[in-house]
Amino acid sequence: MTKQNAVFFQIYVLPDQVDAVTEVLNSGGNPNPNDSFFSFSKIPDVHFARWIVVPANEKYGASLVYAANVDGTEEKHINDLVDKLPDGLDKILTHCKDYPEENNRTRATRLAYLMKHKQKTPGFYVGAPNRSVSQINNEVEMQRALQQFVKANGSQWKTSKEAYAAIKKHVAEDPDFAWAKEKYHLPRKRFVKMFFFVLLLLLILPLLAIYVVIIHFFYEKKAKPFGKNVNQIPPAHMAPLKTQEDKIYQNQLSQVFETKGGLRKVGLRFFLWFASFTSANWFVGGQLLGTPTIHFARWVFIDDGSRFVFFSNFDGSFDEYLGDFVDNSGWGLNAIYGASIGYPRTFYVFGKGAYEISEFMGWGRLTQVPTPIWYSAYPWTGLQQIVSNSHLRASLFNSGNLSDKEIKELLRRI
Amino acid sequence: MAIVDNPKTLDLDDIQGMIIRGYGKLYQTAYFLLKVKDAAGAKKWIKDTLPKVDSADLTTHPEETLHLAFTSVGLAALGLEKENIMAFPVPFREGMVTEDRSRILGDYAENAPENWRWGGDHKKDLHIVLIFHSKTDEALDTFMAAERAIIESSGALEITTEMKGHLREDNKEPFGFHDGISQPVVKGSGRSGPDNDIVETGEFLLGYKNEHDQYPFSPLLEKNQGNISLLSNDPEGSEKKDLGKNGSFMVYRQIEQHVDKFWSYMEDKTKNEDGTINEDAKVKLASKCIGRWPSGASLALFPDKDPGGNPSNDDFGYAEHDPDGLKCPFGSHLRRNNPRDAFRWYNPKQSLKISRRHRIIRRGRNYQLPPKNGEEKGEEGLHFICFNTNLQLQFEFIQHAWSNNNQLRNLSNDIDIIIGVPAEGDPNAENGQFTIQAEPTNQFIDSWERFVTIKGGEYFFFPSMSVLNYLTTI
């Protein structure tokens, strides 16, 4: 079973090279085409990937951030980068601090450089866990082929059982479906782990309650929200973001936040751990707190923890995505992003905040940075499609006898 | 569910009529697109026109009436200061045609704004739309002639485009389906309606709370000009004056409907095995695509055949009557654009909460142009007009997230057969299909063409009566 992993680098740019590297990245493509100088299609294990420029602030210089969601290990991916995109790496990283001199750029020195800059991803959500890029693409093809079969033969079948038997026979005989017969099961909720998780939560509940009260009275009262409605964002800030949106079925979001200090930072680490833990053990069925459009999302600290970034790869538009979260689980957003400077004022940590939707979207835009290079391996496939296809495949190829209800459910997915 | 009272709390006298009223007895409409040539003269013309603008006061029954709406360029042409125009929401400020908005709306290829009759590239000349309602065509012509004479003699405005529209007595749009059913009812308007259709005022009128329990973004005067005593205060308590209160944003798109193509497609897809036409199957397929029978009756309540008559009962939920889409397909025009109490797999309460955050009030009228040389029938279609306070989360959301989304619910490559547009560049676009949820297996109808073409469009500000008056003082 494939496990998707997060790869992340933060690399500081030479102070006088920020414009130059930005220009290089801008030529890389969002969405990233096959003929790009940094074409991710050369690495078939990549689901989504991006390069962004994190602007300098008072304390830290500008840096590049690289994030990829890949099949296999971090180390394998870094090796792939060095092997398949060495020129692209040089073209970008030549503008960065401590990158090997031109006469000293070898496989080994590039690898060492990247290994030195890799960073852990403390908050990670995978919308369709345990699926490789090739599995996702194969399952899309499978669903289409089954639809064609149903189109051609559906009128002959009187009952669900008859339809199921015919489809089952058809796929058993077709060698094109050999891959689907390999042992596979959908990711499962981990009840035991969650039991202990909930137990732990109950134990620390008093602490959490104290946290909520302290944050509410001592932090949020002093907080300075940006207070900008989404219609009040400077056009110059919006323009580069807008030109990169709504080009494929999916969109990307790259946000950079300044972190509030003290207890807020402790809380942030806790809630990111909370999000990551529940993502890995509970939200494995294609939705995060009711939002069913996220392929991959991550939260990573940068600049020694003084800032953090959020990257998401999702279906639909920015407005639809943020709106979806507000409709379903604004409190979760508040718990995490309340730690970012400028966030709409929250009420006892979980209330208000994101629920002030226009101000929340304004904050979202103000903390968003352009994503000059962005890649999706399956740009026209929505997350729910991916999830449904895997259910279809698992029940058709990897299950024993199905009940009548399960058969009906299977047929509905075609 | 039930029909419930909706007590009147709004100052209907201050609201332009069309937001609340469909003018079901005033069958004929016309639209003058106006360019302001002289601001002072134009303001005087607005002042003189105001008494002919009907308010939403339901006790009056005018024989004819006018309404006025403005583009952002138009407000600037009248003399509204730049700072005050910048106080409006972005989509209105920028207009319907920008690169990113065209991607969202699907305005490319045959729908490309370059090909539009009005709006789009002609934006700089589109300042005001004057909307006429009248009982008969003759009365409308007289009305138009009188107004045309006033406008022309003023010398302050130029009529750049004149268009006519109408409501059929049977309320059917050009494809032949009963239109205008299932409108949201504005809370506080005094109109009763199905519980689920009574939507917070702020979804349609600025200055009131919306379905998020917040005030929609409203243009507040940044720089005082004109007679500000005519304006309300910002309901959120800033000291600023609110240009938006009792006003709305109006989306106007002229949509050509390829009626013959629509029906010949339905006919081709449903022919009997011997090649003869199957009239019932043809109408049924078209109805599945629309999500209603031609009479307007719901598929969820009448799955097998059109009961005919007038639709008397629109108060139903999909969750109870059709959770699996076996009666009214998930991908039908109506169900996808107003999923009511069955959105995704959410429970009815959550579904309704979300549906109600994305409603619009539609005030569309049919049009038919005279035949061009050699044609049997002239172009026909719809003057699509709708009202909402948040263009991004209402009109644009519905078009992009629901109509143009080919992967809604369990669908794998189905856009709205009627108004959907596939994303530009989507390699699957040409294999688009319409899925009819059925047992034992779904049925698929493929090889679709598009049955509508956008011919023009713009976003307008639809001010309150007092703000109309205010605009004459700037």
Judged by DSSP in three states, A214 sits in: helix
Q: Alpha-carbon distance B105 to A209, whole Å?
A: 46
A380 in reach of chain B (CB within 8 A): yes
Dihedral Cα A189, A192, A194, A197, nearest 10 deg: -160
What is the C-alpha to C-alpha distance for residues A333 and A338, in angstroms, rounded to an integer? 8
Q: Report residue B34 as tokens.
A: 């106006």
Distance from CA of A314 to the nearest CA of B (A): 13
| Calpha distance A211→A205 (Å, rounded) | 10
Confidence of residue B380 (pLDDT cuts 50, 70, 90): very high
Nearest CA in chain A to B209: A356
Q: How far apart are CA B457 and CA B116, in angstroms?
A: 8
Lowest mean pLDDT among A160-169, A278-287, B56-65, B306-315: B306-315
Residue B309 has pLDDT above 90, yes or no: no
Question: Are B441 and A246 within 8 A, CB to CB?
Answer: no
Selection from A119, A124, A130, A123 nearest residue A4 by Cα: A130
pLDDT in tens, B213-264: 999 999 999 999 999 999 999 999 999 999 999 999 999 999 999 999 999 9
Tell me which of A139-148, B51-60, B118-127, B280-289 is least confident.
B118-127
What would the mean pLDDT of B41-63 be, rounded to a whole number? 94
| Rg of chain A (C-alpha set) | 23
Last residue of a domain, one of A71, A100, A123: A123
CA distance A288 to A281: 12
**Is the pLDDT score of A232 beyond 80?**
yes
B403 CB neighbours in chain A (<8 A) are none
**Amino acid identity for residue A226 in this structure:** F
In the predicted model, is pLDDT for residue A173 greater than 70? yes
For chain B, the domains span 3-95+121-249+462-471, 254-456
| Count of CA atoms in the C-beta half-sphere (13 A) of A97 | 12
Residue A388 has pLDDT above 80, yes or no: yes
Residue A45 CA to residue A133 CA, distance in Å, equals: 6
pLDDT at A1 over 80: no
Contact B90 A158 (CB under 8 A): no
Query: CB within 8 A of A152, min separation 6: which ones?
Result: none
The burial class, CB within 10 Å (0-12 / 13-18 / 19+), for B35 is buried
pLDDT at A39: 97
Burial of residue A1 (CB within 10 Å: 0-12, 13-18, 19+) is exposed
Rounded to a whole number of angstroms, the distance from the CA of B72 to the nearest CA of chain A is 15
The whole-angstrom separation of Cα B69 and Cα A230 is 24
8 Å CB contact of B410 and A388? yes
Q: Does A50 fall in a domain?
A: yes
- Contact call for residues B167 and B312 (beta carbons, < 8 A): no
| Residue of chain A minimizing CA distance to B94 | A235
d(C-alpha B414, C-alpha B404), whole Å = 9
How near does any CA of chain A get to the CA of B78, in Å?
Answer: 23
Mean pLDDT of B274-294: 96
For A47-66, the pLDDT digits (tens) are 999 999 999 999 999 999 99
A367 within some domain: no
Asked, for residue A283, whether it belongs to a domain, the answer is no
Q: Which residues of A touch B410 (CB under 8 A)?
A: 388, 412-413
Q: What's the pLDDT score for residue A392?
A: 95
Same domain, A14 and A97: yes
Residue B375 CA to residue B455 CA, distance in Å, equals 19
A414 contacts B90? CB cut-off 8 A: no
**Residue A411 distance to chain B (closest CA, Å):** 6
CB of A367 within 8 A of CB of A228? no
Please answer yes or no on whether B217 and A380 come within 8 Å at the CB atom.
no
d(CA A111, CA A78): 7
Q: A259 with A271: CB under 8 angstroms?
A: no
Answer yes or no: do B401 and A320 touch at CB < 8 A.
yes
- Section A250-274 average pLDDT: 94
Which has the closest alpha carbon to A300: A122, A180, A140?
A122
Nearest to B104 among A238, A317, A411 (CB): A317
What was the ipTM of the complex prediction? 0.94
Among A30, A157, A158, A231, which would you mutate to test the B interface (most chain B Cβ atoms within 10 Å of its Cβ)?
A: A231
Contact by Cβ (8 Å): B152, B45: no
- On whether the CB atoms of residues B21 and B191 are closer than 8 A, the answer is no
Over range A8-29, report the average pLDDT: 97
- Measure in Å the smallest separation between the Cα of A327 and chain B Cα atoms: 7
How much is the average pLDDT of B335-349? 94
Average pLDDT, chain B: 95
Which site among B269, B441, B461 would you substitute to test the A interface, given the most A Cβ atoms closer than 10 Å to its Cβ?
B441
**Is residue A347, in this structure, part of any structural domain at all?**
no
Instruction: Report yes or no on A299 lying in a domain.
Output: no
Residue B239 CB burial class (10 angstroms; 0-12, 13-18, ≥19): exposed
Residue A262 lies in a domain: no
A101 within some domain: yes
Asked whether the beta carbons of B181 and B311 are under 8 A apart, the reply is yes
Chain A residues touching B405 at Cβ < 8 A = 316
Rounded to whole angstroms, the Cα distance separating B293 from B314 reads: 12
Last residue of some domain: A95, A123, A151? A123
Tell me which residue in A248, A382, A411 faces B440 most closely, judged by beta carbons. Answer: A411
* Phi and psi, residue A249, nearest 5°: -65, -25
Contacts of B418 (CB under 8 A, 6+ apart): B175, B289, B290, B333, B451, B452
Best mutation target among B92, B412, B424 (most A Cβ atoms within 10 Å) is B412
Give the count of beta carbons closer than 10 Å to the beta carbon of residue A98: 11
What is the per-residue pLDDT for A23?
97
One domain, residues A112 and A17? yes
Taking the C-alpha atoms of residue B355 and residue B257, their distance in angstroms, rounded to an integer, is 27
pLDDT of residue B85: 97
pLDDT value at residue A283? 93
CB contact under 8 Å between A316 and B344, yes or no, is: no
**For the whole prediction, is pTM greater than 0.90?**
yes
Gyration radius (Cα) of chain B, Å: 22
Q: At what angle do helices A235-242 and A357-366 cross, to 10 degrees?
A: 80
A258 assigned to some structural domain = no
Please count the residues of chain B: 474
Q: How far apart are the first and last CA of chain A?
A: 24
φ and ψ at B458, to 5 degrees? -165, 160
| B175-200 pLDDT per residue, tens | 999 988 889 999 999 999 898 999 99
pLDDT at position A313 is: 97
What confidence score (pLDDT) does residue A156 get?
94
Question: What are the chain B neighbours of A380 within 8 Å (beta carbons)?
Answer: 423, 426-428
Size of interface A-B (CB pairs under 8 A): 109
The answer to whether B443 faces chain A, any CB pair under 8 Å, is yes
Q: How confident is the model at residue B315 (pLDDT cuts 50, 70, 90)?
A: confident
Q: Which of A247, A388, A414 has its CB closest to that of B441?
A: A414
Whether the CB of B430 is below 8 Å from some CB of chain A: the reply is no
Strand, helix or coil for residue A414: coil
Amino acid at A330: G
pLDDT for the residue B328: 97
What CA–CA distance (Å, rounded) separates B245 from B204?
A: 11
**Among partner residues B217, B357, B428, which is closest to A231 by beta-carbon distance?**
B217
Domain boundary among A123, A148, A170: A123
- Tell which B residues from 30 to 59 touch A, by Cβ distance under 8 Å: none
CA distance A82 to chain B (A): 31
Which pLDDT value is given to residue A104? 95
pLDDT of residue A356: 93
Q: Which structural domain range is residue A69 located in?
A: 4-123
**Count of structural domains within chain A:** 2
What is the mean pLDDT of the segment spanning B255-276? Answer: 96
What's residue B182's pLDDT? 85
Q: Report the 3 state secondary structure along chain B.
A: CCEECCCECCCHHHCEHHHCCCCCCCCEEEEEEEEECCHHHHHHHHHHHHHHECECCCCCCCCEEEEEEECHHHHHHHCCCHHHHCCCCHHHHHCCCCHHHHHHHCCCHHHCHHHCCEEHHHHHHCCEEEEEEECCHHHHHHHHHHHHHHHHHHCCEEEEEEEEEECCCCCECCCCCECCCCCCEECCECCCEEHHHEECHHHCCCCCCCCCCCCCCCCECCCCCCCHHHCEECCCCCCCEECCCCCEEEEEEEEEECHHHHHHHHHHHCCCCCCCCCHHHHHHHHHHHHCECCCCCECCCCCCCCCCCCCCCCCCCHHHHCCCCCCCCCCCHHHHHCCCCCCCCCCHHHHHHHHHCCCCEECCEEEECCCCCCCCCCCEEEEEEEEECCCHHHHHHHHHHHHCCCCCCCCCCCCCCCCCCCCCCCCCHHHCEEEECCCCCCEEEECCCCCEEEEEEEEEEECCHHHHHHHCCC
Residue B375 has pLDDT above 90, yes or no: no
**Contact map slice: A 211-250 vs B, CB within 8 A:** 229-231, 238, 242-243, 245-249
B397 part of contact set with chain A, CB < 8 Å: yes
Spatial distance between the Cα atoms of B72 and B66, rounded to a whole number of angstroms: 20
Q: Do A411 and B439 touch (CB under 8 A)?
A: yes
Contact between B132 and B140 under an 8 Å Cβ cutoff? The reply is: yes
pLDDT of residue A27: 97
pLDDT at residue A48, as a whole number: 98
CA dist., res. A7 & res. B135, Å (int): 68
What would the mean pLDDT of B385-402 be, rounded to a whole number? Answer: 97
Whole-angstrom Cα distance, residue B383 to residue A117? 58
Residue in B159, B164, B161, B136 with CA at minimum distance from that of residue B147: B159
- Helical segments of A94-179, H only: 107-117, 133-153, 160-173
Name the residue type at position B269.
Answer: K
3-state secondary structure (DSSP) of residue A341: coil
A187 pLDDT more than 70: yes
| Position B1 confidence tier, pLDDT thresholds 50, 70, 90 | low
Q: Does B339 touch chain A (CB under 8 A)?
A: no
B237 touches chain A (CB under 8 A): no
Q: Is residue B310 scored above 80 in pLDDT?
A: no
